[in-house]
Structure 1
Amino acid sequence: MYLPSLFDSFFMGGFECSTHRRHDGRRLDLIAATGHDRHAPADYAALRRQGLRSVRDGVRWHLIETAPGRYEWSSLLSMLRATREQRVQVIWDLCHYGWPDDLDIWQPAFVERFARFAGAVARLVRDEGIEVPFYAPVNEISYWAWAGGDQAHFNPMAQGRGQELKHQLVRASIAAIEAIRAEAPKARFVQIDPVIHVAPASDRPDDQAAAEAYRQAQYEAWDLLTGRAWPGLGGRPEYLDILGMNYYSDNQWFHGGATIPPGHPAYRPFQGILAEVYQRYRRPLLVAETGAEGEARGPWLRYVAEQVMAALERGVPVEGICLYPVLDYPGWTNERHCPAGLLGYPDADGTRPVCAELEQELRRQQARLERLREERGRLASALS
């Protein structure tokens, strides 16, 4: 069995921090929309009370770089100092779909500016006394390339340019890593993308080949970062440190068809996906996003946690599960209340209601992990 130890807590909370522009041109800022910017100290304290001492959170580039090379740090400093006061470990997302308006994402200047920004963030975090920071340089390169480069769902609102956008985001991630390591040599990096399963819609060989090709495409961004594919982009194995995998109930589907629901004969157990990713890259894994809405929240966490613990029993190094988003949030496209969090909308004092069902399931899974640790400890003592 593998016993996770990389993060301060195995179960984590993730704050939705998207900052992209929608198809209608409106910029989203989910940190502000959820009230997390105003209530960060209370939010971190609430998560600590739930045993979530590690979190994902966002650095809002578009707010900070007010002009080329000019940084206004107040939005980050208040949150950064709150994490220190509440003794919360953070994986900081540096580019969660958004960038300053004066930049053209398709141009070399995007990569250069992002690298300088990442280095500046690393200096600030270092000067605040954080010796081993964690960063997610560019969130969901593969999904962003599809949604923004092929489907025009959000910025840069392109179609048929997904591969081009993916290459640009890989370049930006590599440049950011180099800039951060120059300031903070001990920094760790989480490269986050969805993991999926795609099943053929029939037994026809062409359907099977198409489904497998689509399934294999989930690895493209990680392969580019390692230099397995398109080495001219500058990828090297050391750019893949921790693999962050986003996994939801709709991450499996029939090629060209409907979602495969859990329990269906074609549904692939999540522990198998975890094992395949580890065998391919031999890197520590993090379930960087997972969650559900409404009454499905507790059962979904139960399924994911049971699958992860089965993978741990098989020796797969999964270092954590991040409840994402950990706060209820307004929907990207219509501002509807999405009841997906462990915590709800805040009152005037910043107090948030707790989803009792999800809290109970989290407690059960935390206790289960502790029992596994104790059993492993007793076994180790008996064998020594």
Structure 2
Amino acid sequence: MISSDDFGSFFLGGFECSSHKRADGRRLDLLRTTFHDALATQDYQQLRQCGISAARDGFRWHLIESTPGQYDWSSVLPALDAARANGIRVIWDLCHYGYPDHVDIWSQDFIDSFCRFSREAARLVRERTGRSGIYCPINEISYWAWAGGDMAQINPCVTGRGAELKHQLVRAGAASAKAIREVDPGAKFLTAEPVIHVAPGGPEPEAEWAAENYRISQYEAVDFLIGRNEPQLGGHDGCLDIIGLNFYPANQWYLGGSTIPMGHHDYRPLSRMLVETYERYRRPILITETGAEGSAAAPWLHYVCAEVEDALAEGVPVLGICLYPILDYPGWENDRMCEVGLFGAPGPGGVRKVHERLLAEIRRHDHLAPAAQKMVAYA
């Protein structure tokens, strides 16, 4: 059973844990560059001080299995222990775009290696925390397939193979869920997929069809994971306990054109997108990522919270909202400090500056927690 009580707070903090390679061959490690890997205790303490008792965090597979078949857990043990000590319930990402150099993502070895790694990671979580884990085995399959398989922006940095990469990631994710349940039958799984809206660029019927076809494609990865389509990929119902949705200001656009501005008649309310998703899958929903930069951060959260409140009023079981990233971070492409988080760079003693306007917005919506707790859990 899953309910909002599993997280202890309606708001979650998401620690950016991308560890992929860029097109120029440089590997990113956002847990390191934000200093969260060294400051997990202080970061979790600051979450609790702000009334947040749940988080998204990640295992860095490329560090843990730098040698095939050998696991060094030293990079994740501090976060595991700090979360337990501070009463933080963590959703663990096991593959957030990154994988070891010795693994060929196009091969069966990628699936087999990820299953072995997932099984041992789940065993560690169970032993170290004393409770079943909550996992996002592979983060943003849809985005990864596009960025890595069609646009050559992140590993494996190719074009024209997006559908093939999506299939491979689904195979790995579905097999990972089975492997985890072998050592932790009570484990729960969620997705973290972009929720989008695409409008036609013109009035022609062909444009309307193309935009709607693109919009509906947002469900493809989850449909694969649960075996609704392409069952040969190994998808099954056990892959999905919570629908995780990532929603940012750029998630609505005209097909082949610009972003749709909020307030425009073509802009679709988030609440309608949540209702549609819930009616499709009948699982509880978690906003797994949302946020905006600088002065837009608080107004954006205000909008998201209002839309979530509307969805709750329509009977959609939204379990919470994860502020992602919770830390300001250096940009993927240019290392520019992106001021998107509740917390800034660490100061003396590892204490981070709190962005007070964003914190005030969080506290302004504390009333959402009781509304979410009334929702019936999905078994």
Q: Distance in 2 between matches of 1:370 and 1:29?
A: 33
1:371 Cα deviation from its structure 2 partner: 7.0
1:369 lines up with 2:368 in the alignment: yes
C-alpha RMSD over aligned residues: 1.5
Is 236-245 or 17-26 further displaced after alignment? 236-245
Distance 1:275 1:33, change over 3 A: same
Where in structure 1 are there 5+ consecutive unaligned residues?
378-384
Distance 1:34 1:42, change over 3 A: same
2:149: which partner in 1? 149
- Secondary structure at the aligned position of 1:97 is classed as coil
Distance 1:343 1:179, change over 3 A: same
Distance 1:163 1:45, change over 3 A: same
Is 4-13 or 263-272 further displaced after alignment? 4-13
1:333: which partner in 2? 333
Quick one: which amino acid aligns to residue 281 of structure 2?
Y
2:20: which partner in 1? 20
Q: Is the 8 A contact 2:17 2:96 kept in 1?
A: yes
1:161: which partner in 2? 161
Q: Distance in 2 between matches of 1:11 and 1:225?
A: 26
Number of equivalent positions:
373
Residues 255-314 of structure 1, C-alpha deviations (whole Å, 9 max, x = no match): 111100111111000000000000001111110000000000100000001100110111
What is the 5 A alignment of 1:108-123? Answer: 108-123=108-123
1:282 lines up with 2:275 in the alignment: no
Quick one: which amino acid aligns to residue 92 of structure 2?
W
What is the 5 A alignment of 1:154-233? Answer: 154-233=154-233
Where in structure 2 are there 5+ consecutive unaligned residues?
none
Is 234-243 or 299-308 further displaced after alignment? 234-243
Quick one: which amino acid aligns to residue 248 of structure 1?
Y
Q: Distance in 2 between matches of 1:38 and 1:371?
A: 34
TM-score normalised by length of structure 2: 0.96
Residues 67-93 of structure 1, C-alpha deviations (whole Å, 9 max, x = no match): 111011111111100111111000000
Q: Which runs of 4+ in 1 moved over 4 A?
A: 370-374
Q: Is the 8 A contact 2:115 2:175 kept in 1?
A: yes
Quick one: which amino acid aligns to residue 5 of structure 1?
D
1:87 lines up with 2:84 in the alignment: no
2:105: which partner in 1? 105
Q: Is the 8 A contact 2:13 2:326 kept in 1?
A: yes
Is 230-239 or 344-353 further displaced after alignment? 230-239
Q: Is the 8 A contact 2:136 2:191 kept in 1?
A: yes
Q: Distance in 1 between matches of 2:245 and 2:251?
A: 11
- Secondary structure at the aligned position of 2:350 is classed as coil
- Secondary structure at the aligned position of 2:105 is classed as coil
- Secondary structure at the aligned position of 1:131 is classed as coil
1:372 Cα deviation from its structure 2 partner: 4.9
2:139: which partner in 1? 139
Quick one: which amino acid aligns to residue 222 of structure 2?
W
- Secondary structure at the aligned position of 1:172 is classed as helix
Q: Distance in 2 between matches of 1:82 and 1:4?
A: 22
- Secondary structure at the aligned position of 1:322 is classed as strand
Residues 102-141 of structure 1, C-alpha deviations (whole Å, 9 max, x = no match): 1110000000000000000011111113312111000000
Q: Is the 8 A contact 1:270 1:304 kept in 2?
A: yes
TM-score normalised by length of structure 1: 0.95
